[in-house]
Amino acid sequence: MKPGLILGLTGSIGMGKSTVAGMFVRLGVPVFDADAQVRLMQGKGGELLPAIAAAFPGTVGPQGLDRAAMGALVFDDPAALARLEAIVHPAVAAARAAFLADHADRPLVVLDIPLLFEKGGAEHVDAIAVVSAPAATQRERVLARPGMTPDRFAGILALQLPDAEKRRRADHVIDTGVSLAETEAQVRALVERLTG
């Protein structure tokens, strides 16, 4: 048994996906946040730490994964990234399956998955909502983040499917280049449409 409808929520960096996920939660829709799950599993006492420490010595400390050290190892090394993903992805898939089982009685649930298209997650959902904003808005938001540089932003974008292609593949597009109230109205209307 599974929920009535599984909506995949995705969007490129800086598009406001986390903000939109919060709007779904406030409307009473259960949301599985893949990134938050990974942070939990890689944080202090996280279940993935032993396997990561064995595969990547020096990247795990008393507080959990040293994200900067890990980033330096995998950012320009596809083989290292694949080794890390082979540890992380099965654990996240198991957590996602448990979430779906826990909410099997709900008419709508959201899977918040940043790389939904890039990592083949689209087959796990019934419909896809893409969060999108103008490129200038996206750039401004991302470059305001601590430690972000134009080069790092460009590198992240290079790993993501272009926004225009995500919008083309989406069943629903949520515009975050408008006021929060306008975005929230779009989310509310989508929830009503999908559960009505």
Q: Specify whether the CB–CB gap between 153 and 140 falls below 8 A.
A: no
Q: Specify whether the CB–CB gap between 6 and 122 falls below 8 A.
A: no
Sign for the CA dihedral angle at 184, 134, 161, 34 comes to: negative
Please tell me the predicted confidence (pLDDT) of residue 123.
85
Residues at the binding site for ATP are: 14-19
Please tell me the predicted confidence (pLDDT) of residue 152.
87
Q: Beta-carbon neighbour count of residue 145 at 10 Å?
A: 12
Task: Going from the first residue of the chain to its last (196 residues), give the mean pLDDT of each consecutive group of 10, the final group possibly shorter.
Answer: 88 93 97 92 92 91 88 85 91 93 95 87 91 94 91 87 94 96 97 92
Residues at the binding site are: 14-19
**Residue type for position 165:** E
Please tell me the predicted confidence (pLDDT) of residue 173.
97
Going from the C-alpha of 189 to that of each of 24, 28, 99, 169, 193, the distances in angstroms are 11, 14, 24, 20, 6
Supply the CATH classification number for the domain 5-195.
3.40.50.300
- Counted residue by residue, the chain has a size of 196
Please tell me the predicted confidence (pLDDT) of residue 1.
66
